[in-house]
Chains A and B, each alone.
Chain A
Amino acid sequence: MELSFFSSILFATVVAGTPLIIVALGELVTEKSGVLNLGAEGIMSVGAVAAFATAHHTGSPTLGILAGMGAGMLMSLLFGISALTLMANQVASGLALSIFGVGLSAFIGKPYESIALASVTPIRIPLLSKIPLLGPSLFEQQGLVYFSWALIAAVAWFLYRSRAGLVLRAVGESPVAAHSIGYGVVRIRYQAVLFGGAMAGIGGAFLSVFYTPMWVEGMVAGRGWIALSLVVFATWRPMRVMIGAYLFGGCMITQMFVQGSGARISIPAQFLSSLPYVATILVLVLISRNRSTIRINSPASLGQPFLPDA
């Protein structure tokens, strides 16, 4: 079906924003438990390559996603051992994970370069996909797009409507208090870190199995870092993550805008490609400018190690 210009822009924005939503929501839950995991870029990279290799060998994109998720959890386990069990600096541990993950993915992925996967047919939702303009761009998408929407609702419900979510937030706000009334702070933080890893792995899998669909070294291209910035932009609220993710998704496909609008001005491709990164910086400035917004919304113990029985 021929998509109108508007519809194709909307379609591409949603696709580009989807991995950001998934990864940022994972990181949001991790951060709500008081743990800052800067390793998203590395986890996504390894998730992407694991998913690609699995999908390539088995021919099943679903198995690919699961592999990406598993790889992401393994990666975040490394972070957990370092930052939670061995109480290393969280910033340094996250950086280590990013450096290690990007390197490891390049290493594993070498034999898979210049292979392309068959593109996966999107799932059309009956009735909804018939809505003019919006239908084809919103409801003829990959399964993970719908998953990302469900995830927003699930994370919001979990954090603010469930008992476990309340405990997780308590751990993030005051680990000492949570510990003193008998909650296993380290155990809960591990769970949050593993969830974050699983989501970052899925985010990476989306890129290599559905978005491109191929593996190229460095293909994550900072999306892990952008997702981290998104959490700050969203002031740690799930709904706002979606808004931010589509905003950045839009930024990432500016090239399409320019070509499609028939503009005659020639802008170097590199300028357009740098837009998401520049936008990230601008957005961080706008949000962080008001110190109290950050102080009120960020989990109070974010980034601080917790030592049981101390």
Chain B
Amino acid sequence: MWLKFEPRPEPSRVMTYLSPLLAVGLMFLSGLILFLILGKSPVEGFKVFFMNPLRDSYGVAELLLKATPLMLCAVGLSVGFKANVWNIGAEGQLLIGALAGGWLALRFEGSHSPFLLPAMILAGALGGMLWAAIPAFLRTRFNANEILTSLMLVYVAELMVSWLVHGPWKDPDGFNFPQTKLFSAAATLPILLTGTRVNAALLFALVALVVGWVFMNRSFMGYQMKVAGQAEFAGRYAGFSAKRSVWIGMLAGGAMAGVAGISEVAGPIGQITEHISPGYGFAAMIVAFVGRLSPIGILFSSLLMALLYMGGEQAQQYLNLPSSISKVFQGMLLFFLLGSDVFINFRPRLVRRRK
């Protein structure tokens, strides 16, 4: 007997939503196996990795804190992904957003103006957009593959951060650590829930989810993006500009990543260091896919991804495993999702093997 995939006449709606759940289930299962291979008790490992982070309200708050940049980046990226615009450089756009907003914080250090913070957020969005505009321009003007250019710019952005915190922006009283001065209170996002680190950025993320939903489902431009992604030729025939899709997709991703970046440095970090993001821009791609490129899905998948980050920290602390185990889980999740998606368009059937 041989497993064969038969095309379905119509994509299965049920499987569209079941597939992420199946993928999460498979990830849990392989997690258990992974812990077994590593010589840890699977039950203990599962508890530490997936349940420990949420055992108290502080843990839940940390989960929201970590989900925030993921939500922001993912909702921006999903706009582009819908139109097959592959911005994979959100990590770099996030860093440039952090630099652009952070520059204002450092430049107006003594300021108590209530406009400083909004200006920083705006600068963050613009910074991210600027970094995303480069691949958009190179793609629309010179036909250069945006996957490769946007990714290359991540490395450039990382080096730029490194240069600034080691050089011109280094805190002169910082004992030579590669970091800037701490941002003043006026340049720091207000805390939403006292006793936690959850800050106003969570509100930005929730607003972004709503705006993203309205844009994709209720606006003509969002409709054009979807058509461009699902039926390129139909879109062209209808006169929808492919170039505009690229621009909108890239800029939306850049703006949101930029806001995520400035929210991190003006939030939990409080200054610019070399370690602004533990790969949020890359993890956000997984968040977007697992969330089916829809804001509601992204809300849930960003929480799951944040849990994987926290699980890694727990595993390091209690199981003596490297925290990068969270990235192993993230990668597995995306693979399982892509694999499970086969059931959307195909029906598995057992057939007798041909001789």
- Are chains A and B native binding partners rather than an unrelated pairing? yes
Instruction: Give chain A's interface residues, CB within 8 Å of chain B.
Output: 38, 42, 78, 81-82, 86-89, 91-93, 95-97, 99-104, 106-107, 110, 217, 221-222, 225-226, 228-229, 232, 268, 270-271, 273-274, 277-278, 280-281, 284-285, 288-289, 291, 294, 307, 310
Q: Are A99 and B327 in contact (CB under 8 A)?
A: yes
What is the total number of residues of chain B having a CB less than 8 Å from a CB of chain A? 47
Write out the residue numbers on chain A whose beta carbons fall within 8 Å of the beta carbon of B153.
277, 281
Question: Chain A: interface secondary structure?
Answer: helix
Q: Are B338 and A86 in contact (CB under 8 A)?
A: yes
Known: A99-B331, A107-B325, A289-B143. A92 touches B156 (CB 8 A): no
User: Are A274 and B159 touching (Cβ within 8 A)?
Assistant: yes
With A95-B285, A96-B331, A103-B330 given, is the CB distance from A87 to B163 under 8 Å?
A: no
Decide yes or no whether B88 CB sits under 8 A from chain A.
yes
* CB nearest to B160 among chain A residues: A270
Residue B346 lies at the interface, judged by CB distance under 8 Å to chain A: yes
B155 within 8 A of A: yes
B286 at the interface (CB under 8 A from A): yes
Q: Are A96 and B335 in contact (CB under 8 A)?
A: yes
CB–CB B86/A100 < 8 A? no
CA distance A87 to B35 in the complex (A): 30
Separation of A48 and B142 alpha carbons in the complex (Å): 35
Flag if B163 contacts A285 (CB, 8 Å): no
Asked if B318 is at the interface (CB within 8 A of a chain A CB), the reply is: no
Question: Considering the complex, which residues of chain B in the window 157-211 have a beta carbon less than 8 Å from any beta carbon of chain A?
Answer: 159-160, 162-163, 166-167
Best-surrounded residue of A88, A91, A217, A281 (most CB of chain B within 10 A): A281
Q: Could you say which residues of chain B place their CB within 8 Å of the CB of A78?
A: 335
CB atoms of A92 and B338 under 8 A apart? yes
Docked Cα-Cα span, A97 to B286, in Å, equals: 12
Q: Considering only CB atoms, which chain B residue lies closest to A269 in the complex?
A: B163
Q: Point out residues on B near A: beta carbons under 8 Å.
A: 5, 7, 86, 88, 134, 138, 142-145, 147-149, 151-153, 155-156, 159-160, 162-163, 166-167, 282-283, 285-286, 289, 321-322, 324-328, 330-332, 334-335, 338-339, 341-342, 345-346
Closest chain B residue to A36 by CB distance?
B147
B residues in contact with A82, CB < 8 Å: 335, 338-339
Report yes or no: B151 in contact with A225, Cβ–Cβ below 8 A: yes
Set of chain B residues within 8 Å of A274, measured between Cβ atoms: 155-156, 159-160
B144-A285 in contact (CB<8A):
yes
CA distance A80 to B338 in the complex (A): 12
Is A99 within 8 A of B322, CB to CB?
no
> Contacts A96-B334, A104-B328, A268-B163 given: A284-B145 contact, CB under 8 Å?
yes
B86–A91 CB distance below 8 A: yes
Query: 30 A-B contacts, Cβ less than 8 Å apart?
Result: A86-B341, A95-B88, A95-B334, A97-B331, A99-B286, A99-B331, A100-B331, A100-B332, A100-B334, A101-B331, A103-B326, A106-B327, A107-B322, A107-B325, A217-B324, A222-B151, A222-B155, A225-B151, A228-B148, A268-B163, A274-B156, A277-B153, A278-B152, A281-B134, A281-B138, A281-B148, A284-B144, A284-B149, A288-B143, A288-B145
User: Which secondary structure characterizes the binding site on chain B?
Assistant: helix
Most buried by A among B5, B134, B339: B339
Docked Cα-Cα span, A106 to B329, in Å, equals 13
Residues on B with beta carbons closer than 8 Å to the beta carbon of A278: 152, 156
By CB atoms of chain A within 10 A, which of B7, B86, B151 has the most?
B151
B322 and chain A: residue at smallest CB distance: A110
In the complex formed, the residue of A with least CB distance to B3 is A85
Picked from A88, A270, A310, the residue with its CB within 8 Å of the CB of B163 is A270
Q: How far is the CB of B159 from chain A (nearest CB, A)?
A: 4
Asked whether, in the complex, the Cβ of A280 is within 8 Å of the Cβ of B152, the reply is yes
Complexed CA–CA distance, A277 and B157 (Å): 10
Tell me the nearest residue of chain B to A87, going by C-beta: B342
Once the chains are docked, how many angstroms separate the CA of A199 from the CA of B160? 32
Residues in chain B near residue A288, CB distance under 8 A: 142-145
Most A-side CB within 10 Å, residue of B134, B286, B331 = B331
- Chain B minimum-CB-distance residue to A221: B155
A22 to chain B, nearest CB (A): 19
User: Which residues of chain B are within 8 angstroms of A104 by Cβ–Cβ distance?
Assistant: 327-328, 331
Q: Write the chain A residue with the least CB distance to B38.
A: A107
Count chain A CB atoms within 10 A of each CB in B159, B325, B341, B342 and give the residue with the most. B159
